[in-house]
Structure 1
């Protein structure tokens, strides 16, 4: 029942936010966090992840609905929003899972038109649904599992795991586990034959916050978080304002459209791919050693082209 209560609270908050945006209100993250008694990071996540399919944007620290857009309220606003979002999420997963979900949703919706489009590019894990059911039970009951894991480098091996979360990063599915008091990540598709064991384990309370603050699957539990300061030119700034990174805090917004901001990470690989993706529009100010890694990689890449 605790899970259902959490989902109900999130749904109530999302529907309230969308309804008010639909009515033309401009909403502040700080004010919403105070109103719903949650953190500002949670509200920012609502806008950047849970409501990302809707035409909303941030202007002068206020979130608004794009001009000329209206959500039809012919039935229940809540029901239509939920079904439209679910439909687009399942389309992104693909495979037989998507087909089954679409068939079920079509019976509920009884309409063909969906005003929402979402390009999620999530890998298909339809063939893993039976295994996922066992993993979900293990996570909820805090029970260990035994399974076969194929790491694609050596032959598959049997292992015992303590499952914490099933997580999706950049479209790929992982099982976050605890093993020998460390966090480990296993590629979900490489897990097979999971068996529930009778042995239970404890889960640290900070795991949820650690996952929410992570930038990628490279996050670490045993490394002290450290700050990275970045500079974004005008081309990149608008995107990092629309969809801030977890733990992102703006240090300066400049008249030329550029921005300096900070994020907290636990591993350099959380930020390196992001900076490389945005070259030449994003660079690291500090710590210098991370920028040096990027510079060395660029030199190696350019030298290979010259050859």
Structure 2
């Protein structure tokens, strides 16, 4: 059996098994239409592939597990929480995924919406084909060729080995090793065009994988990837102190905690990261040990105020 057919059969059998395990009646004509197969195929599923289960035919032509036999259902509390969180999150990637998750989790007690989580994912409408293509290339370790427009408007052709699909601040990126200079870079998904999957495969570069773990897996969670890392000391008070103390960012370390303020150590790649963070919390955040950054901040604020005068 070809791999594609095997995967379809496994998905079909898993779905039927879940329905039976949850005490649902299954009807071959309906299942045949849902999965795009013949009624004979569904009957073969029930009486040959699932022959070890005590499946009984009902008077209305449906099939049901005997009342004395039920598969272990009733997920544990932690499993239920995970499923509910998954259902809440997945629709933010693309609206169609809401129906997909309902189909996959058919029969699970997810009718109530107990969680509301807003991560601000950008809408992938019009770019799902690219998303799926990148996922396929990742699965099979295939190199990519594509046309890309940088944030400065420069367009060029690229060849890269994909390592991750990543989401930073709600925006989707491809993390890939540029074949031209062997450097790990991030490419904004919606700026990628004419994406083609190469027939050639690549081997994971351990140095690149380690860089991903060291940089993105520990201190940083933004799109800018550079091997150089810097540190700056910040002082937080007021609202900034209250919010940061609740959940410090991955690149933020609390050095000292006082009743009136916090002293923080921020790890960053580019000055823009620090300046954006400080401007968000003005006047409750100050730069303590980097006059150059502080001067840049003064100039930006001054320019803004002059423009508003």
Tell me the distance in 1 between the aligned counterparts of 2:282 and 2:197: 46
Answer with 1 or 2: which has the greater Rg: 2
TM-score (normalised: structure 1): 0.67
Give the corresponding residue for 1:209. Answer: 214
Indicate conservation of the 8 Å contact 1:226/1:265, yes or no.
yes
Q: What displacement does 1:157 show?
A: 4.2
Tell me the distance in 2 between the aligned counterparts of 1:81 and 1:272: 38
Q: Secondary structure at the match of 2:283?
A: coil
Tell me the distance in 2 between the aligned counterparts of 1:129 and 1:280: 41
Which digits, 9 at most, give the CA deviation of each residue in 1:260-294, with x for residues without a partner? Answer: 01022222222221111111111211222112111
Give the corresponding residue for 1:87. Answer: 87
Using the TM superposition, name which of 142-151 and 75-84 deviates more.
142-151
Q: Secondary structure at the match of 2:106?
A: helix
Which digits, 9 at most, give the CA deviation of each residue in 1:14-47, with x for residues without a partner? Answer: xxxxxxxxxxxxxxxxxxxxxxxxxxxxxxxxxx
Which digits, 9 at most, give the CA deviation of each residue in 1:68-126, with x for residues without a partner? Answer: xxxxxx74213211111111212333433x34335336624344212111111111224
1:220 aligns with 2:226: yes
TM-score (normalised: structure 2): 0.66
Instruction: Return the match for 1:299 from 288, 298, 302.
Output: 302
- Structure 1 100/271 Cα, relative in aligned 2: closer, same or farther at 3 Å? farther
Gaps of 5+ in 1: 1-73
1:133-148 maps to which residues of 2 (within 5 A)?
133-148=132-147
1:16-35 maps to which residues of 2 (within 5 A)?
none
1:58-207 maps to which residues of 2 (within 5 A)?
75-96=75-96, 98-104=97-103, 107-151=106-150, 157-179=156-178, 180-197=181-198, 198-201=200-203, 202-204=205-207, 205-207=210-212
1:278 aligns with 2:262: no
Q: Secondary structure at the match of 1:263?
A: strand
Q: Which has the higher contact order (CA 8 A, sep 6+)?
A: 1
Q: Secondary structure at the match of 1:84?
A: helix
Alignment root-mean-square deviation, CA? 2.4
Gaps of 5+ in 2: 1-73
Give the corresponding residue for 1:69. Answer: none
Q: Secondary structure at the match of 2:121?
A: coil
Q: What displacement does 1:215 show?
A: 3.9
Which digits, 9 at most, give the CA deviation of each residue in 1:39-71, with x for residues without a partner? Answer: xxxxxxxxxxxxxxxxxxxxxxxxxxxxxxxxx
Q: Secondary structure at the match of 2:87?
A: helix
Q: Secondary structure at the match of 2:288?
A: strand
- Structure 1 237/153 Cα, relative in aligned 2: closer, same or farther at 3 Å? closer
Indicate conservation of the 8 Å contact 2:87/2:98, yes or no.
no
